[in-house]
Amino acid sequence: MADEKNISAAQVKALRDATGAGMMDCKKALQETAGDMEKATEWLRQKGLASVGKRAGREANEGRVESYIHFNARVGVLVEVNSETDFVANTDEFKQLAKDVALHIASSNPRWLARDDVPTDVVDAEQRVYEGQAREQGRPENVLERIVQGKLDAFFSDNVLLDQPFVKDAKVTIAQLVDEVSAKVGEKLQVRRFARFELGKEAE
């Protein structure tokens, strides 16, 4: 097994682009196969995760808009979760996924849906801060990039819905949860958009 530190973000992205599997699944596959792309792809296929990628190009235009009102009636959520067919949208697995995502949004208050939605100026500002902190701590130049990337990953995990650990099971992210249900129902599923309302505050 490869050390987590030896797996680069570029390797993970390349494997994700090739297989469509979730980011954390790709990272795990690369760790398990010492960074070998072909073996990592095979590992994902064996786990039934790469098959999700085969559905990546399909259109997911069915689904449902799920709502959730927190018990204190101070927080409410609307989230659109899509499937390829109305049949899957009416399955218990899909309905539960939509409910779980709505509950998660109410509890975890993500600022953005996906990493690509985070404004470039926000990412750049975070990188500058993390790099400055690392230099201030006297960290050597050759590890700065790794440190900054690690802190950025933590920032995304705190603020990006698909990167956040699921409130009911912190071992999986929301992206992994969606992929797991997608594998079960045999269709591409996706969280398209959400709105979170908190009493007295602007909608997120």
**203 found inside a domain:** no
**49 and 133 part of one domain:** no
**96 and 167 part of one domain:** yes
Full-prediction pTM beyond 0.75? no
**38 and 110 part of one domain:** no
Whether residue 189 contacts residue 83, with contact meaning beta carbons closer than 8 Å, is answered with yes
Q: How many domains does the chain have?
A: 3
Residue numbers of the domain that contains 30: 4-54
Whether residue 102 contacts residue 76, with contact meaning beta carbons closer than 8 Å, is answered with no
The SS3 call for residue 16 is: helix
Question: DSSP state, 83?
Answer: E
Distances (CA, A) of 125 to 135, 169, 204: 15, 31, 21
- What angle in degrees, to the nearest 10, is found between the helix axes of 141-159 and 120-136? 130
Q: For the chain, give percent helix, strand, coil, nearest 5.
A: 55, 15, 25
Sorted by sequence, the CB contacts under 8 Å of residue 183 that are 6+ apart come out as 48, 49, 51, 52
- What angle in degrees, to the nearest 10, is found between the helix axes of 23-32 and 37-46? 120
**179 and 91 part of one domain:** yes
Phi/psi for 75 (5° steps) reads: -130, 130
pLDDT for res 4: 56
**13 and 102 part of one domain:** no
**204 found inside a domain:** no
pLDDT for res 51: 56
CA separation for the pair 178, 164 (Å, rounded): 12
pLDDT for res 197: 94
Sorted by sequence, the CB contacts under 8 Å of residue 43 that are 6+ apart come out as 29, 32, 33
**Residue 184, burial from CB neighbour count under 10 angstroms (0-12, 13-18, 19+):** middle
Distances (CA, A) of 11 to 45, 76, 162, 164: 17, 39, 20, 21
Tell me the CATH number at 125.
1.10.286
Give the chain's residues under pLDDT 70.
1-5, 49-60, 203-204
pLDDT for res 3: 56
Amino acid at 63: G
CA separation for the pair 35, 110 (Å, rounded): 31
